[in-house]
Chain A
């Protein structure tokens, strides 16, 4: 796995937002790599910065109110944050593509899906109108949409949610991007459709050999789909490592809490469902020390004085954790 060179190299990414309450850091000093054949999960509760991180990979955070306050995002050797704004359209959709959470609203209601897919193909691959249409039909067939030629003339509202998300996947893969960012791609779908779309997703990722970043709060999806997971809390990475290792032996108390609080089929009924106590701190008033300290069962006095850095746990285990007192 580590043999493949990284497609994406994020270093010290910091994203801030100007709000009524002042400047808020949504992403704080985040660094990670993604190799060409990996599927990496960005996991965390809503508001932890995972979606903003995902959007940043296409430099899609609206500026203002957002601002890239520091760091770099190297995609295939080029730093997106250093590029002039005019250079972005040539990269978006071609080198890196994104799938959004809401298939209902992510497609334009007044254009047919054929037109929308062809727009992207013509933009990046310079295809003629008819060639682009043929290619769009081929992509719909690739994501197992029956009767693709007819579907091209449908408007988004004529398709089901699962179908629309398949269209989004087809559109995302149509220019063979090196990296695909999927933001909660199955959250808005019902459970059976979710499973189908996920299976499709996994198959296509193999077939197109695209690196994938899956932004999700759903640990079930992570376990089924991802080779590696990055757990975020309050804008920072608290733990990262191979999914299997992370699930078997969560080292950060937050990761452990997250795993325990997943409702699942258990042999015996617990007296009460384990939850992480307390609340996520207000992003405008973060504590000086560890941001999880107030909710942590293993908190020590030094946790309140300094923030634990993200460090490899060593002993040959490819896991990093940001905790003074890990499990």
Chain B
């Protein structure tokens, strides 16, 4: 008797990606968080296109004006418009976050895959040693040292973050690639003589996408939060304005009882980070391969 002749329910087949999207869209909290993040992105994009917040550096008022129609969040100690500065800082936060997240994740994926694919070889040993070394150096000192070495380049902060943020991703990718290496289709690719870089790029790395997405989102938030601390300490953003610089500026004001600058930067930053963290949680849930089936 033929088994296929029976009317069996066809199992639903779709890719992990499509499943994750479907799963994510069912997550109401996650969707709201994504909408908030996109709102921030729109605010940043307006700055990039020169639509608004162009006069963030201009002295458009007097010292410590309260909120008004002309200055929505009031003015700071030297009479600059706090709203324009806070919105401009949003674009700075996105620039820092995106650059660091993309570069650190790409670096982590490449080096982690190399270490995992050649696990046990000298290359793996050297990479592990290098990761250990970078982790053992106190982070703030490392960024300061990078700033020294780059002679106060405006990119010193980003370089410092990228040079350390890739490590977590690399360790996770390394572990995953070590697992994937033993799977049949990778062994088959090796057996037919494909060169290692091709196998890694085509057959191994695509299977770590779920790790990379989550790690990139962690790096994005991490970079925005780190920018604030480094700028606050005076070793971050050097020119212009950012949430960290605004908060640093506000420490002289809050003790005098003027909170506008502090609240504007703090709340805007909190909103973005909170929304992004919530979004990242939902993303992680949707991508969790253990939840499949």
A250 to B219, CA, bound (A): 64
- Does A278 interact with chain B (Cβ within 8 Å)? yes
A279 to B6, CA, bound (A): 9
A294 to B7, CA, bound (A): 8
* CB neighbors of A among B5-22 (8 A): 6-9
- Does B3 interact with chain A (Cβ within 8 Å)? yes
A281 to B11, CA, bound (A): 11
- Does B136 interact with chain A (Cβ within 8 Å)? no
19 residue pairs of the A-B complex, CB under 8 angstroms, read A277-B1, A277-B2, A277-B3, A277-B6, A278-B1, A278-B3, A278-B6, A278-B8, A279-B3, A279-B6, A279-B8, A281-B8, A281-B9, A282-B8, A282-B9, A285-B9, A294-B6, A294-B7, A295-B6
Q: How far is the CB of A85 from chain B (nearest CB, A)?
A: 27
Interface size class of A (residues with CB under 8 A): under 10
Residues of B within 8 A of A279 (CB): 3, 6, 8
Q: Which residue of A lies closest to B291 (CB)?
A: A20
A282 to B10, CA, bound (A): 10
A247 to B229, CA, bound (A): 76
Q: How far is the CB of B192 from chain A (nearest CB, A)?
A: 35
Interface of B is mostly: loop
A122 to B92, CA, bound (A): 63
Q: Which residue of A lies closest to B10 (CB)?
A: A282
Residues of A within 8 A of B9 (CB): 281-282, 285
- Interface residues of B, CB < 8 Å — how many? 7
In the A-B complex, the 8 residue pairs with the closest CB atoms? A277-B1, A282-B9, A278-B6, A285-B9, A294-B6, A278-B3, A277-B3, A279-B8
**Chain B contact residues, CB within 8 Å of chain A:** 1-3, 6-9
Residues of A within 8 A of B1 (CB): 277-278
* CB neighbors of B among A283-297 (8 A): 285, 294-295
Q: How far is the CB of B288 from chain A (nearest CB, A)?
A: 13
Interface contacts beyond A277-B1, A278-B1, A278-B3: sample of 6 additional A-B pairs, CB < 8 Å, sorted by A: A277-B6, A279-B8, A281-B9, A282-B9, A285-B9, A295-B6
A134 to B1, CA, bound (A): 61
Q: How far is the CB of B23 from chain A (nearest CB, A)?
A: 9
Q: Which residue of A lies closest to B8 (CB)?
A: A279
Q: Which residue of A lies closest to B292 (CB)?
A: A20
Q: How far is the CB of A164 from chain B (nearest CB, A)?
A: 26
Residues of B within 8 A of A285 (CB): 9
Residues of B within 8 A of A278 (CB): 1, 3, 6, 8
A295 to B3, CA, bound (A): 9
Q: Which of A277, A278, A279, A285 has the most CB of B within 10 A?
A: A278
Residues of B within 8 A of A295 (CB): 6
Residues of A within 8 A of B8 (CB): 278-279, 281-282
Residues of A within 8 A of B6 (CB): 277-279, 294-295
A275-316 interface code vs B (CB 8 A; 1 in, 0 out):
001110110010000000011000000000000000000000
Residues of B within 8 A of A294 (CB): 6-7
Q: How far is the CB of A261 from chain B (nearest CB, A)?
A: 14
Q: How far is the CB of A150 from chain B (nearest CB, A)?
A: 39
A279 to B10, CA, bound (A): 12
A295 to B260, CA, bound (A): 75
